[in-house]
Amino acid sequence: MSNAITYVRRSLTICVAILVSQLGGVDSADRAELFQSTNLIPRSVLFGNPERQAPELSPDGKYLAFLAPRDGVMNVWVAPVDDPGNAKPITNDTVRGIRIYFWAYDGKHLLYAQDQNGDENYHIYRTDVITGETTDLTPGDKIRAMIYSLNERTPNELLVGLNDRVPQLHDVYHIDLQTGERTLVEQNPGFAAYLIDHDNKARFALTFSPTGGQILLSRDQAGEWKPYLEIPNTDALSTRLSGFDKANAHAYLIDSRERNTSALFSLDLETGATKLLAEDSKADVAGIITHPTEKHVQAVSFNHTRTDWKILDADLQPDFDYLKSVESGDLNITSRTLDDRLWTVAFAPDNGPVKYYLFDRDARTADYLFSNRTDLDDYTLSPMTPVIIKSRDGLDLVSYLSLPPGSDGDGNARPDQPVPTVLLVHGGPWARDQWGFHPLHQWLANRGYAVLSVNYRGSVGFGKDFTNAGNGEWSLKMHNDLIDAVEWLVAEKIAPRDQIAIMGGSYGGYATLVGLTFTPEVFTCGVDIVGPSNLVTLLNNVPPYWVPILPMMKDRVGDWTTEEGRRDLMSKSPLSLVEKIQRPLLIGQGANDPRVNQVESDQIVNAMKEKNIPVTYVLYSDEGHGFARPENRLSFYAVTEAFLAEHLGGRFEPVGDDFEDSTIAVPEGADQVPGLNSALDASAS
């Protein structure tokens, strides 16, 4: 561990020098206080298991469930709603931890989804709240289950989709929650998905057109599926049905056709007439609140730079007005009882833990339940500032900036002098970054880096024109947006031009590889997490259940089925330009990743080895598309932290015991990261 100790001393020296230069005339007492306020936040605080999170009320209001560690693994705990402190664990996952769970409407069972080692073949499990008995409702090898319907009208039933007959297609099954008996309801002839109404009927089916658009089908009087609504490819990511009214006579339609941003409409299913319910000129529909039993829309959220709720039901306005006075941060309702008397609500700030409350609507009182990480209260956290960066062709890139604590003396969201910076690129690409508490932002800012997340073209939430501007632009205009963000960082004196790293997962990993190959002199170093290196092999190796959506991938990414299309995709693939890499690269990969297969990392690592270009490759045998087990997260970020400190000069926490119980393997380049070899040796002994 001698190398690690050396680098800790060096990084602390650098940190002190930076602080002294920034503080100028501040007296020594203030200087010491500021340094104390920026103590290193342990990785375990940011990336270990949360203390408690995701509270959910049982439909009858008798119980409160939440996720919390049991013997170090996340499980579901349940308490009487009037005695939350008397919670007991009722599930006993011992490996990956439970991340997704639901109450059954019978109030007696909880349901949760779990895969094996990151393969994303999720099974649905039922747990009895009283006995803790757990049953796999969807047993079988290499099958992926999805919940289609949980319905208060049929509290003892569940509709699921299963691809046990044909791997590419999900048939619809009825499951009796009491007995576990499974009955086939719909045999899928080739649809991507079904939409189930409140009578548990498959009301619509969804398929993709050859051009990447969507077709909604409904049954005619003879029971045959016929096209009902066609959605052009330009609207396929921003137009969809989102539930039904109580009588199943109207559907709620999120629609961007004949407009740019999607709005919420009520669609008369008999006449086809629509009625506008809510819209925003800058943002798409982000969320919908409907009454738990009456099913009418009560509120709609939009998110341009922050979440904004539009209240449609006057009954909710006093509730929202009161809750805004309880805590700061963006408000979200996480659960409601069927009688709508009790809610659990979450307040999510940018510089602190998420806080959860139990809200009694009748009494108009909100009782604090818990926060997800109370240990964050011991540290100075950084605010996240929304900024809008102009792309070279005039697009607004909604972005989020975090600065190291103490670096912004006048509070103008600019450091007093440029600081090393990490450009953190989101995955998808059909996703988005948003304001709030972001562990990676807080971690990197605490280590001395500015952090910028950019919603580049192709991101969703800002209107279909912005999303569609990314079609076919992988490594081209999508990458230009990131380069424009780099230029903005330099022009705004946030970052020195020669101290900017790029980091991201999935598409963000691809963007990292593009950054180091297509623009090899822009970034100081890069961290690629499960990013594709070859777009042809990426699209040739998708999970079987992605097959129905491949027309959309062909439209938005490229055509891997023709020679011309493959040439175009290879021209956008970092693997084709490996010889251009000049800057240090760290790659993290899960061996069981079904979306971005291990071959994507293997092939670029092998190509770099053949050309004698150094690279560090970290591999996990029990992970998939990202690192779910906290032991693996901690180990990877320990490596990343030392890697960034070596090349950007920030602070870092020694590895310590963060390799313990991790499956970390480093098949290539351990000697490229200070202290990594000795940490691996120590963990193996």
Query: Which residues, 6+ apart, have CB-to-CB distance to 535 below 8 Å?
Result: 474, 557, 558, 560, 569, 570, 572, 573
Residue 262 has pLDDT above 80, yes or no: yes
The larger pLDDT score, comparing residue 36 to residue 682, is at 682
Number of H helices, E strands in the chain: 14, 36
- pLDDT at position 150: 94
Q: Calculate mean pLDDT across residues 132-145.
A: 96
Tokens for 531? 């990013």
- How many angstroms separate the CA atoms of 495 and 500, rounded? 7
Model confidence pLDDT, tens digit, residues 144-167? 999 999 999 999 999 999 999 999
Three-class secondary structure of residue 61 per DSSP:
coil
Asked whether residue 394 is domain-assigned, the answer is: yes
Domain count of the chain?
1
Residue 373 has pLDDT above 80, yes or no: yes
Question: Are residues 129 and 63 in contact, defined by beta-carbon separation less than 8 angstroms?
Answer: yes
Asked whether residue 270 is domain-assigned, the answer is: no
54: left (phi over 0), alpha (psi -120 to 50) or beta: left
The total of other beta-carbon atoms located within 10 Å of residue 421's CB is 27
Q: Domain of 606?
A: 2-46+382-684
Q: Chain-centre distance of CA 9, in angstroms?
A: 35
Query: Half-sphere exposure (CA, 13 Å, Cβ side) for 251?
Result: 22
Q: Catalytic annotation on 593? A: yes
Three-class secondary structure of residue 391 per DSSP:
coil
408 to each of 23, 383, 460, how far by Cα in Å? 10, 11, 31
Tokens for 191? 């649809």
Phi then psi for residue 56, to 5 deg, are -140, 130
- pLDDT at position 26: 34
Residue 178 has pLDDT above 90, yes or no: yes
- pLDDT at position 5: 28
Asked whether residue 348 is domain-assigned, the answer is: no
Bridge partner residues of 69 (DSSP)? 74
Query: Does residue 59 have a cis peptide bond before it, meaning omega lies within 30 degrees of 0?
Result: no
Model confidence pLDDT, tens digit, residues 104-126? 999 999 999 999 999 999 999 99
Task: Enter the DSSP assignment of 376.
Answer: G
Model confidence pLDDT, tens digit, residues 604-648? 999 999 999 999 999 999 999 999 999 999 999 999 999 999 999
- pLDDT at position 23: 30
pLDDT category of residue 244 using cuts at 50, 70 and 90: very high
Q: Calculate mean pLDDT across residues 267-271.
A: 96
What does DSSP say about strands 240-244 and 225-231: parallel, antiparallel, or unpaired? unpaired
Phi then psi for residue 305, to 5 deg, are -105, -30
Model confidence pLDDT, tens digit, residues 451-497? 999 999 999 999 999 999 999 999 999 999 999 999 999 999 999 99
Tokens 């001395």, residue located? 448
Asked whether residue 635 is domain-assigned, the answer is: yes
- pLDDT at position 254: 98
- How many angstroms separate the CA atoms of 431 and 455, rounded? 9
- pLDDT at position 609: 97
What does DSSP say about strands 250-255 and 240-244: parallel, antiparallel, or unpaired? antiparallel
Lowest mean pLDDT among 23-27, 364-368, 473-477, 681-685: 23-27
The total of other beta-carbon atoms located within 10 Å of residue 189's CB is 11
- pLDDT at position 38: 72
Q: Chain-centre distance of CA 314, in angstroms?
A: 32
Closest by CA to 127, choosing from 65, 82, 83, is 65
Q: Give me the CATH number covering residue 642.
A: 3.40.50.1820
Residue 29 has pLDDT above 90, yes or no: no
Angle at 640 between CA 638 and CA 646, to 5 degrees: 105
Question: Are residues 185 and 172 in contact, defined by beta-carbon separation less than 8 angstroms?
Answer: yes
Q: Calculate mean pLDDT across residues 301-326.
A: 97
Q: Calculate mean pLDDT across residues 19-30.
A: 32
Q: Calculate mean pLDDT across residues 581-601.
A: 98
**DSSP-assigned letters across all residues of 585-600:** EEEEEETT-SSS-HHH
Residue 6 has pLDDT above 50, yes or no: no
Residue 552 has pLDDT above 80, yes or no: yes
Bridge partner residues of 253 (DSSP)? 241, 265
Residues present in the chain in total: 685
- How many angstroms separate the CA atoms of 507 and 154, rounded? 41
Q: Which of 197, 280, 555, 593 is catalytic?
A: 593
Bridge partner residues of 65 (DSSP)? 56, 78
Query: Which residues, 6+ apart, have CB-to-CB distance to 589 below 8 Å?
Result: 529, 530, 598, 600, 601, 602, 617, 618, 619, 620
Bridge partner residues of 342 (DSSP)? 360
- How many angstroms separate the CA atoms of 215 and 229, rounded? 6
- pLDDT at position 45: 96
Closest by CA to 234, choosing from 219, 256, 202, is 256
Asked whether residue 386 is domain-assigned, the answer is: yes
**CA dihedral for 555, 561, 567, 571, sign (positive or negative):** positive
Tokens 């206080």, residue located? 33
Asked whether residue 650 is domain-assigned, the answer is: yes
Model confidence pLDDT, tens digit, residues 395-413? 999 999 999 999 999 999 9
- How many angstroms separate the CA atoms of 384 and 373, rounded? 18
Bridge partner residues of 302 (DSSP)? 285, 308
pLDDT category of residue 684 using cuts at 50, 70 and 90: confident
- How many angstroms separate the CA atoms of 489 and 496, rounded? 8
Q: Catalytic annotation on 635? A: no
- How many angstroms separate the CA atoms of 306 and 271, rounded? 36
Query: Half-sphere exposure (CA, 13 Å, Cβ side) for 598?
Result: 14
pLDDT category of residue 685 using cuts at 50, 70 and 90: confident
Model confidence pLDDT, tens digit, residues 416-464? 999 999 999 999 999 999 999 999 999 999 999 999 999 999 999 999 9
Q: Catalytic annotation on 106? A: no
Three-class secondary structure of residue 76 per DSSP:
strand
Q: Calculate mean pLDDT across residues 638-661.
A: 96
Q: Which of 625, 635, 647, 662 is catalytic?
A: 625
Phi then psi for residue 241, to 5 deg, are -80, 145
Asked whether residue 628 is domain-assigned, the answer is: yes
Tokens for 493? 């004196």
- How many angstroms separate the CA atoms of 308 and 100, rounded? 26
Q: Which of 58, 453, 506, 573 is catalytic?
A: 506
Tokens for 548? 């129905």
Q: Which amino acid is at 616?
A: T
Helical ranges in 334-453 per DSSP H: 439-446
> What does the mean pLDDT of the chain come to?
93
Model confidence pLDDT, tens digit, residues 530-547? 999 999 999 999 999 999
Tokens 């109207």, residue located? 250
Q: Calculate mean pLDDT across residues 37-52.
A: 91
Residue 36 has pLDDT above 80, yes or no: no
Question: Are residues 244 and 295 in contact, defined by beta-carbon separation less than 8 angstroms?
Answer: yes
